[in-house]
Amino acid sequence: MINPERSSGHLQGEFSVFLIGMRVNRLWKFHKWVPVISAMTRMIKELRTTPDAGLLSYEMWLGRTTLMVQYWRSSAQLLAYAKNQDAAHYPAWRAFNQSLGTNGDVGIWHETYLIHPGAFEAIYVNMPAFGLGRAGELLPATGSRATAASRLDAAIIKQEVD
């Protein structure tokens, strides 16, 4: 459902943003990159049915280079999932290393960010619940949430300006 109001995404406390993706370097080797996509699909399905794992929400864009943005309750939960030998990630990671390793057929990447309260801002207009607004909650972008500067913690902004 499209929300025509100016809204700000908000999430209480610290949280982690995890960017992950892959790049198909050799398009004709579909037998190499299809299993990587399938593994990610299995992991997301597992995480959606296990809310205690810590994944709050995600968005995904497909192409030769894929991008998935994931919002996690904590980086500790993200790392625990990655190391859990009974979860879908661990065998997928092992299979990737055995099948592809560093042969250049498929690239994978990820970046992890630990977000502190007051160190983020988000705005949405004419959008369905998306990104941080879907992971947390959408609040009216009025008063202390009316501008990007006011959505960011004033102490952090002052530190960057000085």
| This model's pTM is above 0.95 | no
Alpha-carbon span 159 to 23, nearest angstrom? 37
pLDDT tens figures, 20-43: 999 999 989 988 888 888 889 999
Q: What are the C-alpha distances in Å from 119 to residues 7, 15, 99, 139, 152?
A: 17, 11, 40, 17, 6
pLDDT tens figures, 74-123: 999 999 999 999 998 999 888 887 887 788 888 999 999 999 988 899 99
Confidence band of 53 (pLDDT split at 50, 70, 90): very high
CATH 3.30.70.100 residue ranges for the chain: 15-115
Question: Which one is predicted more confidently, 160 or 13?
Answer: 13
Question: Which CATH number fits the domain 15-115, given the four candidates 3.30.540.10, 3.40.20.10, 3.30.70.100, 2.60.40.1760?
Answer: 3.30.70.100
Taking all residues of the chain, what is their mean pLDDT, rounded to a whole number? 89
Q: How far apart are the first and last CA of the chain?
A: 42
Average pLDDT on 130-153 reads 90
Alpha-carbon span 22 to 122, nearest angstrom? 26
